[in-house]
A and B are shown apart, each in its own frame.
Chain A
Amino acid sequence: MPLLEIQDLTKHFFRFSALRMVSLGVEPGELLGIIGPNGSGKTTLFHCVTGVLRPSGGQVRFKGEDITGLTADKVYRRGIARTFQLIQIFPEMTVLENMLMAAQERTGTLLGRLCRREKAEETDRAMRRLEFLGIASLKDTPGSNLSYGQQKLLDFGMALMPEPEVILLDEPLAGVNPTMITNLVGHILELNGRGQTFVVIEHNMEVVMSLCRRIIVLSEGERIAEGTPAEVADNPLVLDAYFGR
């Protein structure tokens, strides 16, 4: 059974259809790529899965449970974390606070979060993640003072913090310098090697083709192709979507 299953997902913005009957499944431990030209509905798909947007139709199932239309916080607590195309961190919080914030709501009750103080092991876990990403020395720096690449790493680190079952990465390499790309790809591959499931939206074809074993292509809100990187690269529908006839 797929870990994450999307069935006929549709999203309309008034008369405009951003997603039309998109279906896909993500297996445990998979590193699935989603590509497509600008405006093809990739980010809208992530928004609908993670509760940022409410789908107009279709179904999202996670570990067999219907999570369609749940609010973002409820989706997160079930074990789906994500990053954003346009970096979304807490700019006035320090790097360490951003990391702790990303994990504090995963378990426990609302009242428990008022009464329970931070445990040393939680801070240690955040520090280990920051060391893994190479930004531990910036732990006391406000998020807004980081460079773009460092913010991308922090955004990625925040997605790792709650130890989710699936991480959705929305263009994690966009605007990142080549050295940082190598670092990030290395981190993704290492975590995936340990069994972490990823779904990656990426425009960097070279990277996405080398990173993912299976790729799904969206165009104008519809799923137009699926296959291995080689199959997708040779698919005339994909070439048509990217380059036109």
Chain B
Amino acid sequence: MTGTRRTVLAAALVVCVLAPLAFEQYKLYVASLTLVYLVLAIGLNLTLGYAGQISLGHAAFMAFGAYAVAILGQRGLPFELGLGLGGALAFGWGLVVGFPALKVKHHYLAMVTLGFNIIVFLVLRNWEGLTGGSFGISGVARPAWGPISFASDRAYYLYILGWAAVVVASAYWILSSRWGRAFRAIRENEMRAAVVGVSLRAYKVMAFAIGAAYAGIGGALFAPLLGYIDPGAFTLDRSIQFLMMVVMGGLGRFEGPFIGAVVVTVLPEILRASEGLYLIIYALAVMLMMLFMPKGLVGLWDRAVTRLGRARVMPGTR
């Protein structure tokens, strides 16, 4: 990582930590949601951006985490147990869903993951005894460590921030390891990757499973944010929203999910001032961004740096 990137990330972290001190309740909620989405987008960026395996089922993996903390919370079990179980379940299902990636690619793989998302949605809606069906589960408890409670919005924001930091650090560790390079090799030239010894089976499946596990963690953090979840929160729409975050931020770039999560979460909130027009403006903004910034908003940053005549950034985790 270059010095500039380290500074930008450190500055972003400081702003995130200070934000809740100034924000009122609704803005704090949006900031918390942005962090949750950041965790999810980092997972999808690893699967899609680095390893090149498209997933339209990320919301389904998210559901494992959300329902795990909700169901275990109802039984009085600690939040972290639900988070761990949700992450592990998502990881396990990521391994299962990752297997078709060995045989199918691109839009065919998108169809497989889309099908998985629909199946999970139907199970959540119909398994009423466990998931509450269409009524969902309300009163999802926020975590508490003995006398320390994260029930208040500010405390829970800081709790999410802590987990986001863990996810960012672990993702950086994975992506800057030889695994990260192998993921990129698969994305850039699958046949060549195999011929230089990359086990496509192992790496593709792991890329799916790790991305899914992050989604599970994100889902676990999401559930207590509003305190209520239902299957409608984990539909294809949500998966596409994550895809937008990763693509708009910059596929396969470490900074991509940070920018994507902020833009996709915050931009609609800012545009709400235009009342009925906000969805049209938002859709147009997305279309224009994709048209003029095919490498995402990170690409815009790269172009600005190049224009300023400074050396082009060639990140180690690219």
Contact = CB atoms under 8 A, between A and B. Distances in A.
B111 interface: no
Contact of B198 (A73, A92, A114, A140): A73
A116 B197 CA distance: 17
Interface string B181-211: 1101100110111111111111000100000
Interface centre among B182, B191, B197, B201 (most CB of A within 10 A): B197
Nearest to B181: A101
A113 interface: yes
Interface residues of A, number: 37
A77 B197 contact: yes
Nearest to B194: A72
Contact of B177 (A81, A94, A114): A114
A92 B192 CA distance: 13
Interface string A97-110: 10011111110001
A28 interface: no
A76 B199 CA distance: 10
Given A76-B197, A105-B196, A110-B199, A93 B182 contact: no
Contact of B174 (A88, A97, A103, A114): A114
A200 to B, nearest CB: 17
- The number of chain B residues touching the other chain, given as a range, is 20 to 34
A93 B188 contact: yes
B196 A97 contact: no
A115 interface: yes
A97 B181 contact: yes
Interface string A107-124: 000100111111000000
Interface of chain B: mostly helix, strand, loop or mixed = helix
A76 B188 contact: no
A52 B195 contact: yes
Nearest to B316: A97
Contacts of A113: 177-179, 182
A10 to B, nearest CB: 22
Contacts of A92: 184, 188, 318
Nearest to B196: A102
A101 B184 CA distance: 10
A20 interface: no
A90 B177 contact: no
B314 interface: yes
Given A88-B192, A89-B189, A93-B188, A104 B181 contact: yes
B178 A88 contact: no
A104 B182 contact: yes
B189 A116 contact: no
B197 A142 contact: no
Main secondary structure of the interface of A (DSSP, over half): mixed
Contacts of B314: 94, 140, 142
Contacts of B177: 113-117
Interface in A53-90: 71-73, 76-77, 81-82, 84, 88-90
A76 B185 CA distance: 15
B192 A71 contact: no
Contacts of B185: 90, 93, 101
A72 B185 CA distance: 14
Given A71-B194, A72-B194, A91 B199 contact: no
Contacts of A172: none
Contacts of A105: 182, 196-199
A142 B318 CA distance: 11
A162 B198 CA distance: 13
Contacts of B193: 90, 101
A143 to B, nearest CB: 9
A88 B197 contact: no
A31 interface: no
A50 interface: yes
10 contacts: A52-B194, A72-B195, A76-B195, A76-B196, A90-B193, A97-B181, A100-B181, A103-B196, A113-B179, A142-B314
Interface of B: 174, 177-179, 181-182, 184-185, 188-189, 191-202, 206, 314, 318
A-B pairs with lowest CB-CB distance, top 3: A105-B197, A72-B194, A88-B192
Given A116-B177, A117-B177, 16 more contacts: A71-B194, A73-B197, A76-B194, A76-B195, A77-B197, A82-B195, A88-B192, A89-B189, A89-B192, A90-B192, A93-B185, A102-B196, A103-B196, A105-B182, A114-B178, A162-B196
Interface of A: 50-52, 71-73, 76-77, 81-82, 84, 88-94, 97, 100-106, 110, 113-118, 140, 142, 158, 162
